[in-house]
Structure 1
Amino acid sequence: MRWNVLPYTIPLWITLIFSIGTAIYIFKRRAVPGAIALFIMSLIMSLWSLGYIFELLSQSLREKIFWDNVQMLGGAMGVSCFAFALQYTKQKICLKRRVTILLAIEPVIIWILAVSNLTELFRGNAYIDTSGPFPALIYDMGIASWIDFAFGYVMYILFIILLIRFFIRSHDLYRKQASFMMIGLTITAGGYILSFLDLIPKYMRDVSPFTFTILNLSLFFSIYRYKFLNTVPIARETLFEKINDGLIVLDANKVIVDINLLAQTIINTTTNEVIGQLFHGIFPNSQEILKNMDNSMQTNLEISLKKIDQEYIYEVESLPLVNKRNTNIGWLIVLHDISERKKMEKALQISEEKYRNVCEFANDGIVIIQDGYIKYMNTKLLEMINHTYEEVINHYFDIFVIQEFRTLVRETYRRRIMGEEVNNRYEITLLCKNGDKLDVEVNAAVMNYNGRLATLGYIRDITERKRAEKALRELAVKDPLTQIFNRRHFFILAQKEFELSIHHKYSMCAIMIDIDHFKQVNDNYGHAIGDQVLCNIANNIIDSIRDTDVLGRYGGEEFAVFLPKTDICKAQLIAERIRKNIMQSSVSTDRGQIFVTASLGVAQILNFDEDDIDKLFDRADKALYTAKQKGRNKVIIYN
């Protein structure tokens, strides 16, 4: 061992310790999207640093080449960066096993070439240079080395593109997380470029491991300052910021990881002041909330907050957040302002007349039910159901509820009056005078009315919320442009039909459809017209298939159809019908009619014991490729 080399290994030992510590921390949070890829990246940094340390300490050429081969495992660094970006930014491309294998092929082949070095494909003219402060391994880069360099930087560029796109459309918290990831990896990539372009002294052949310390520090800062790996990006702008309740997200350690604008207003703070802070150090009356939390159930309680000499009362709901393994990973705190409702209840206790004056100006509907009959209904609720006061007073209350919910409403009312434990808040649908249906949330309580028990109900219109929830559900299953199933949901439905057909030994077929020369439509007429063409084609396909068939947008200008209980002859007829309908249809523009054609590939199940749905659609795709080779605007059966 050459002792004069030891000072140069100190930064590498620091990097090694940092990398191992980071890997252990990340592995404990491996359930978070992107954590596994980041864990692999940390292991690669550890191996790379360890290999470089022992390369510097080795004296013979053979030993140095051995430890240089260990460092070549770092070729998977770019792949792990790209894989992390795919998972963290929740791209539609998911890391299935076959995608992972494809990404790993290049690093594995390069490592094999580095170890075997056949015909010096990886390194040539290796020797020990003694002109520097310590003996260093020097060699010429082979063609395999340059391929590995190019592949790694393609992966890194893709990583940067994904994170920049994510940065533009994300919340401030996630922007900061992404920024530190990009900064750390950019410095590492810069060191890698300097090494490959021989812009550093020969004896410092590879400075990448020295930059890993900076990368690890950026990771640590992102983890501890911005709670990276404790939170994941969500579609928060639609619901989280615009909901009428204050929302606070806690991790498993009761640390605040997100907070919406209304909650910031309630507790008079900002995001930068509370993110990363313990909940009990920020929120008033937090001890009362925390002691009621339980990992297996949600809790509700009321708290009072004073702001500018005015008291506000909030209903606090604590909802446990669990992962796929049903393990508690945090809490969602919902703050609902019930100050107005409390004022109404207090007014009721003073006098019915004062109560009516208050509730007539309320934003929610209010109803009093006694012995099953409506005794009072405020103006807001009358407007909601489009009735007059005379039309509802002393009428049985459930005639204004749709049939589906009448049994629930009657039973809940009966049990509440009997003093039994019932859910005070539930959702029903009211029947309006003009026949329209109105989704509402009911919050009911028992009261004393004219010396006898009655039910007081607060009715809130949740039509917009229901519409938003429906839109979110449709976004999860439908292609937003053509309004047919997206690829993910298409394969979920097709897989169910496939398994049913396999069980009953039914014939089944698949059709792959690709629009011929669709790029020319976009180039000549613009993407807006191209979108109209895609929608027109989707409608033509819908008109050409049966109700039992499953249609989805496969991607771009490709569509897929699964045909259950269908033999190849009938499938060919359906495919021809689709082709003709597309060919004969057109889209009107100010530059005239646009006609397009389509190529179709058809395949059928061949072996009930060995085939799966992927094989079925692979065959249809091959037939589609043949149709395009044979001139397009054709239907080809897989043979």
Structure 2
Amino acid sequence: MDSLLTMYITLVCVSGVFNVFLSIYAFSKRREIPGAGTFMAYTSALAIYCFGYAFCLASDTIREVKLWTTVEYVGMPFSAALGLMIVLNYLGRKVSGRTAAVMLVIPAITLLMVATNDYHHLFYKSMELREGLPAPLVKIEIGEWYIVHGIYTFSCLLAAVVLLIGRWRQTSRTYRLQLTVMLCGQFIPMVAAFLYLLGIAPGGLDPVPIVMCVTSSLFIWAIVSTKMLTVVPIAKETIFESMGEGVIVLDPAERLIDFNRAAAAMIPSLHLSLIGKTLDEVWTMMTGSPFPAARQPQGMKEEIVWTADNGCRCYEVRSSVVRHRNGEQAGSLLMLIDVTELKRLQRDLEHMAYYDGLTQIYNRTHFIHLARELLKESRTGGHPFSVVLFDIDYFKQINDSFGHETGDRVIVHVVSVCKRILGENTLFGRYGGEEFVIALPFASLDEAAGLAERLRAALEAEPLITADGEVAVTSSFGAAQAAEPGRDTLESLLHAADEALYLSKRGGRNRVSVCNPAVRRRDR
């Protein structure tokens, strides 16, 4: 064996050692390196490839050559596919287990073909030692599957190179050194493999294991100097597509040029065929009207409602200008944030703030706020203003006899009966537990008392029907009118109505009493 071959074998073994080191490093940093398992498999496959080829070169018999060739192919056919997986992971494209399995099918078949070649000769048609050479190299005649294997290996390397080159402009300068190392790790072996497949490699030797010494050295240097593998850039489009908010990208002429997956999910009618049209044209095609929110100025926030099969969704639209480095406007972004649940929660909170949870009429606080406004308007216009207070007779006995659930049903029943008589625009609220209040602008005391009498009669005539039988429901009423000079406050007016209510209670309940400005206490 001449000195040149000895040097070649030595360099191939160094490549194997470097890849063993890289595999051990990936194992030690497996919790820090994204896709560490794939990188370990890749470097292990390269190490097996290098050592197998080194022993193959050192073999003296055809039997030894076949044995070490089989060992070599335990790693070599898998390395290209695993390298492509590493590139995909590096670029933020997740490789699923099923996809990885499919990518490794041809390498697995290649290994099987090499191991059983003596039975079918589909990989090597013939293999024999060359004569007259200073070293016992092998002369081979390739078979059909060798061609399939070569095409697949070269395709994986080429795909990895194309993907990495395509990412160059989108990669910040901070990470371009890493990208360069990744690119060299795929491009240099691809060129070497191409030369070998064409049969123009120096001395007929496979140059790939020797160039692995260079690429592995680059990997080691990049890991030490730039924290490669542990600090990996996240692709801009990966961020764009993984955002939970919908993003619509417009050019300076407000033409649609891109949108992310979230925007397509929010607005199912948005599809690629609409790219190139203005946003108003797109929206008109989808809804029949122009886009309902303005795109300017910078930082604008508006809301739009999108109606689809799954109901109405509310989106907050935020606009921002995208500029080139020289400050010129490159376009704009519209960010769609789904605020449907937030709006629903706001409506629920507002409802809870204004309405009684059991009866869904105004609660005491909101009733007083609205009644004050009505009283103020009545003073300004010189109109009469009256209030009616009433509560349910013997409500405690109902709770004690039938339970609190029935008591709640009685309260709802009273409100239901009253709302049929009062109408939708009457200011009606729950004043306390079983006590209710009505504000009547433009109503005199007699009119308020007449309305109270109709309510009293309706409640008396309509008991609550329960599984345990009828529950008689009656109420006592008190009515009061604001003084003509308009000096009564709402609190004093409610106090007067409360006095009239207690007058009804003392008079035997289920009746109406009034308290007017001239005579603050009078039975009806």
TM-score between both structures, scaled by the size of structure 1? 0.40
* Larger-Rg structure: 2
Whose strand proportion is higher, 1 or 2? 1
TM-score between both structures, scaled by the size of structure 2? 0.49
Bigger relative contact order (CA 8 A; separation at least 6):
2
